[in-house]
């Protein structure tokens, strides 16, 4: 089984971000970047499938400028076999990403596509579902456990009512949730070995502009200081007369 994992290069989750002075977006200059945490879980799952003998090859791909190669190298150090950098300077939205990945899937012909359920920057949670729709493949979103049984994949996923089990015929698209696994740490020797692993660069053609644009980005409103109350009656009075949420 060949596994393709799509990963995203994002601002590190532990970095304090700041906004552009004109409110057009987040100022990422000089900030530390890393592999998107959900994507890292997807990479770990693919590597574990190979270690168990279920996968024969793990291919990593990422879309963006030259800086994404840092993330691809980290994914290779985690145990992937080779990487594909789809190079572009365009700021892409989920449907555009899904269309680009669709083209790559058609050329790579993987049996399974893994990706994080969402990125921590855009937080859209759309690309995996759109890719599955474009491919016409079964999908298992928010996976918390995977098990390969012949040519079928058993996916456990968390839903509002508890846990759901899906049985998908390969090829399929699966997105990783937090509880799927615990990614391993990257060691320096493995990071050095990535220099010998293939990293192919494919320059994307000019893309059609996005169907929408960001008008303004603002910080969330600061929370007001809490009030310590002495009784339930006092709480009900404030809910009724001040907040006006109780009739």
Domains of the chain are: 2-221 (3.40.50.620)
Of the candidates 176, 182, 170, the residue with the CA atom closest to the CA atom of residue 157: 176
Is residue 180 within 8 Å of residue 45, measured between CB atoms?
yes
Give the bridge partners for 126, in sequence order.
none
Q: How confident is the model at residue 208 (pLDDT cuts 50, 70, 90)?
A: low
Q: Beta strands of 7-123 (E only): which ranges?
A: 9-11, 18-19, 26-27, 33-35, 57-64, 82-87, 112-116
Q: Does position 92 have pLDDT exceeding 90, yes or no?
A: no
CB 177 within 8 A of CB 157: yes
Lowest mean pLDDT among 39-53, 103-117, 186-200: 186-200
Residue 207's pLDDT band (cuts 50, 70, 90): low
Contact (Cβ atoms closer than 8 angstroms) between residue 34 and residue 10: yes
Spatial separation of the C-alpha atoms in residues 242 and 234, rounded to whole Å: 11
């Amino acid at each position: 089984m060949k596994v393709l994992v799509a990963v995203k290069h994002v601002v590190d989750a532990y970095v304090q971000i700041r906004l552009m002075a004109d409110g057009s977006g987040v100022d990422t200059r000089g900030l530390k970047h890393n592999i998107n945490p959900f994507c890292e879980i997807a990479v770990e799952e693919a590597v574990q499938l190979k270690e168990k003998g279920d996968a024969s090859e793990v291919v990593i791909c990422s879309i963006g400028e030259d800086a994404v190669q840092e993330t691809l190298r980290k994914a290779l150090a985690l145990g992937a076999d080779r990487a594909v950098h789809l190079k572009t300077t365009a700021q892409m939205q989920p449907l555009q990403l899904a269309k680009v990945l669709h083209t790559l899937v058609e050329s790579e012909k993987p049996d399974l596509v893994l990706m994080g359920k969402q990125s921590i920057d855009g937080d859209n949670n759309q690309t995996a579902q759109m890719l599955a729709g474009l491919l016409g493949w079964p999908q298992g979103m928010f996976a918390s456990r995977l098990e390969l049984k012949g040519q079928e994949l058993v996916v456990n996923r968390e839903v509002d009512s508890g846990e759901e089990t899906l049985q998908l015929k390969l090829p399929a698209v699966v997105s990783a949730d937090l509880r799927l696994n615990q990614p391993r740490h990257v060691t320096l020797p493995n990071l050095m070995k990535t220099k010998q692993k293939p990293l192919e660069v494919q320059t994307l053609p000019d893309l059609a502009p996005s169907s929408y644009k960001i008008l303004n980005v603002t910080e969330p409103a600061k929370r007001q200081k809490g009030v310590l109350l002495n009784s339930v009656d006092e709480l009900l009075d404030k809910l009724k007369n001040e907040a006006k949420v109780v009739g």
